[in-house]
């Protein structure tokens, strides 16, 4: 079935260091992979997304890489700041209809 696995479930990094979160998906036909950030008590909000026709996308300190052959994609946050502390979710669109999320990564930035 359609499934997205996300690792790690928790991640602590020193302020200024980089953070990497990884996801794998089950359906090789999936073509859209967004990343969402959810702050405590708030709704998830899109931070970056990537489509299957590119291997990497960058937006300032945030980048996403996609390996379609291996069916995995990763979020990279560089020069982390305290405001990066949140829960991050990866997602994949299955059958061009079903937006399925990973289990989330709680990122803590240590000052």
Partner 1 sequence: NAGVTQTPKFRILKIGQSMTLQCTQDMNHNYMYWYRQDPGMGLKLIYYSVGAGITDKGEVPNGYNVSRSTTEDFPLRLELAAPSQTSVYFCASTAADGVMNTEAFFGQGTRLTVV
Residue of the chain from 34, 35, 37, 80 that contacts partner 1 (CB under 8 A): 34
What b/e sequence results for 71-106 when a residue is b if at least 16 CB atoms lie within 10 Å of its CB, and e otherwise?
ebbbbbbeebeeebbbbbbbbbbbeeeeebebebbe
* Nearer to partner 1 (CB atom), residue 36 or residue 84: 36
Separation between Cα atoms, residue 100 and residue 4, nearest integer Å: 7
Burial tier of 28 (Cβ tally within 10 Å: 0-12, 13-18, 19+): exposed
Residue 69 near partner 1 by CB under 8 A: no
Residue 21 near partner 1 by CB under 8 A: no
* Nearer to partner 1 (CB atom), residue 32 or residue 72: 32
Q: 33, 38, 28, 83: which is closest to 63 by C-alpha?
A: 33
Residue 44 near partner 1 by CB under 8 A: yes
Residue 103 near partner 1 by CB under 8 A: yes
Residue 39 near partner 1 by CB under 8 A: no
Residue 32 near partner 1 by CB under 8 A: yes
Residues that bind partner 1 (CB under 8 A): 6, 31-32, 34, 43-46, 49, 51, 89, 93, 96-104
């Amino acid at each position: 079935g359609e499934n997205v696995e996300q690792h790690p479930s928790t991640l602590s990094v020193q302020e200024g260091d980089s953070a990497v979160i990884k996801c794998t998906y089950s359906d090789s036909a999936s073509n859209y992979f967004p990343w969402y950030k959810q702050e405590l008590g708030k709704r998830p909000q899109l931070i970056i997304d990537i489509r299957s026709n590119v291997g990497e996308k960058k937006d300032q300190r945030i980048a996403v890489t996609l390996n379609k052959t291996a069916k995995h994609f990763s979020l990279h946050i560089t020069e982390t700041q305290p405001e990066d502390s949140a829960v991050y979710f990866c997602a994949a669109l299955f059958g061009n209809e079903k937006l399925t999320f990973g289990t989330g990564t709680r990122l803590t930035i240590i000052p």
